[in-house]
Structure 1
Amino acid sequence: MSIEKIAIVTGANKGIGYAIVKGLCEKFTGKVYLTSRDVFKGEAAIESLQELGYNPAYHELDITNQTSVDKFKAYIAKNYGGVNVLVNNAGFAFSVKATEPFGKQAEVSVNVNYFGTLRVSEAFLPLLRQNANVINVSSSLGHLAKIPSEEIRKKIADPSLTIAGLSDLMTEFVRAAKTDSNLEKTWGTSAYGVSKVGMSAMTIIHQRMLDNETSSRNIHVNHVHPGYVATNMNDYHGILTVEEGAVAPLHLALNTHGWKGQFVWRDCTVADWFGPKLPSVF
């Protein structure tokens, strides 16, 4: 079994994930795993990085498939025994032109962005090494203030909220969306936003769980808004390059920042996730 340092980036065959892998290959002193749901696209991304002089490793990973997650976890456990950096970047957003019913958009968004990230995180939490960094790529839409309902915000912000309780809330949102009662129940109209709020809340709960370990591993779990990046997820309407979007995630992955459970803005500053306002610069 190798004891070299290991970094994993999910959903990394393109966009911000690809740029994060590139940045890790430049500065991380260990092996970097680029993962993707589509093997063909993942291997093409590897070839592209190799042409640039980098040498990341590849493994298939579909975050919505428990068998896929279990296989990758078993592979890492057998060959390396642990992980130093986990970047949960894989995600999904419907186009603004999407014609799918809102209930379907809610179901898919929450399944990928919340439950998929949760599936990977809980699989790899036991493998995280001392001083490991977990970076959950969220969004400005994942800020708690984006939930219109004060009552729901209070539930999500409750320091006693568990992962099971949070998952129930995400399921409750999907149920409301499918019955066209999301406005009546004050969830709002952004399926992507609610799913990212869920991811961000999950970050805080996981940090709390790790802080309460009997034998502390000093693990840092943070969520990050990478900025309004031009990717296929927003039909390339963003104002930042993928390299610019990778800046804050790479800062969290590579530097001794000491942050735990923090919402980090694209300029590498800490934003108040619980506060009433977002930073002005997107």
Structure 2
Amino acid sequence: MASKVAVVTGANKGLGFSIVKGLCLKFDGVVYLTARDQKRGLEAVEKLKALDLHPEFHLLDVSDENSIKDFADYIKTKHGGLDVLVNNAAILEWNEIYPTYEAAKRNIEINYQSLLSIEKWLYPLLTDGARVVNVSSACGHLSNLKNKKWLETLQKKDLTTKEINEFVEEYLGSVRNGTFNKDDFADEGKHAEHRVSKTAMLALTMVQQRKYQNKNISINAVHPGHVKTDMANGGGDLEADEAAQTILYLIMDASPNLKGVFMWHDKKIVDWYDYEGDYYCKDVW
């Protein structure tokens, strides 16, 4: 019987590294640590080997569709399928609370638009019973948005990927042409680009789960907490190994009937659609 296969993106450090570590300890199969920098990825693998853990490494730059396609071809040829996919790769640039168009575009390309290419090339490889976890944050909850038109669109039960893309492009257009409105967001729109990318990721999670409803695939999203990583800019109150536990729970222990949910770091399921709730991100500056 072929070995099961798990893949974690953006895994050479921080939370991704801890997820790989946890999978190596618990997952009965091959675990791929992927990263866009080969040197750093191989160094991360060596650190785990020193702990008597043995992940495989593969180069994967989620911002490059050709890189995603090459990786998908490799997985298909070597393993035939994919059982676990953790979409963890993400960026947050701290130097501008209200980013330039180029910085906003960069964040959205990596944090959201890469998932569209991942769906195109890797989702066809998902096996029966596969689990996908999208690593988001409090920035992904719908309460980060105040723009009524956006809220009405994203709450639709028949929401489409095209409509999510239009929401993203409308935000980017406002940054590009100077019409960005802080009132469209919670907390004066600080790091609105991150709120948009992570909200779009959550919306896509819901759309994808509905799209694959007839297949035995669980697609969920998680807010792992405020993790002590580079992305937290020196802040954070959770160690990466601790934060990884919620993601590992969704992969290893959660009911396969848990589909299309947004899980908080305490393993509670929150209502993503509750845009009046107090779930919005308050710690991204």
TM-score above 0.5: yes
Q: Report the alpha carbon displacement of residue 279 of structure 1 after superposing the two structures with TM.
A: 5.6
Deviations 1:174-205 (A, max 9, x none): 11111221207825442111100000100000
Deviations 1:75-129 (A, max 9, x none): 001111111100000000011x348843222111111100012221332111111
Percent same amino acid at aligned positions? 36
Q: Is the 2:262–2:271 Cα contact (8 Å) retained in structure 1?
A: yes
Structure 1 residues 251-260 or 49-58, which shifts more? 251-260
Counterpart of 1:76 in structure 2 is 75
Counterpart of 2:163 in structure 1 is 165
Q: Report the alpha carbon displacement of residue 209 of structure 1 after superposing the two structures with TM.
A: 0.1
Q: Does residue 1:130 correspond to 2:151, yes or no? A: no
Normalising by structure 1, we get a TM-score of: 0.93
Counterpart of 2:30 in structure 1 is 31
Normalising by structure 2, we get a TM-score of: 0.92
1:75 & 1:195 partners in 2: Cα distance? 28
Q: Output the aligned Cα RMSD.
A: 1.9
Aligned-partner SS, 2:212: helix
Find runs of 4+ consecutive structure 1 residues off by over 2 angstroms. Answer: 97-102, 184-189, 278-282
Q: Does residue 1:272 correspond to 2:265, yes or no? A: no
- Give 2:193's match in structure 1, choosing from 183, 191, 201: 191
Counterpart of 2:110 in structure 1 is 112
Q: Is the 2:142–2:151 Cα contact (8 Å) retained in structure 1?
A: yes
2:243 & 2:50 partners in 1: Cα distance? 22
Q: Is the 1:140–1:278 Cα contact (8 Å) retained in structure 2?
A: no
1:148 & 1:280 partners in 2: Cα distance? 11
Q: Report the alpha carbon displacement of residue 268 of structure 1 after superposing the two structures with TM.
A: 1.1
Q: Which amino acid aligns with 2:106?
A: V
1:126 & 1:183 partners in 2: Cα distance? 39
Counterpart of 1:85 in structure 2 is 84
Matches within 5 A, 1:50-69: 50-69=49-68
Unmatched runs of 5 consecutive residues or more in structure 1: none
Alignment length, in residue pairs?
Answer: 276
1:104 & 1:256 partners in 2: Cα distance? 39
Counterpart of 1:40 in structure 2 is 39
1:23 & 1:109 partners in 2: Cα distance? 27
Change beyond 3 A, Cα 1:43–1:135? same
Q: Is the 2:139–2:280 Cα contact (8 Å) retained in structure 1?
A: no
- Give 1:237's match in structure 2, choosing from 211, 235, 238: 235
1:100 & 1:157 partners in 2: Cα distance? 26
Counterpart of 2:209 in structure 1 is 207
2:179 & 2:281 partners in 1: Cα distance? 33
Change beyond 3 A, Cα 1:71–1:52? same
Deviations 1:132-156 (A, max 9, x none): 1000000001101101212211111
Unmatched runs of 5 consecutive residues or more in structure 2: none
Aligned-partner SS, 2:207: helix
Counterpart of 2:137 in structure 1 is 139
Q: Is the 2:144–2:281 Cα contact (8 Å) retained in structure 1?
A: no
Aligned-partner SS, 2:48: helix
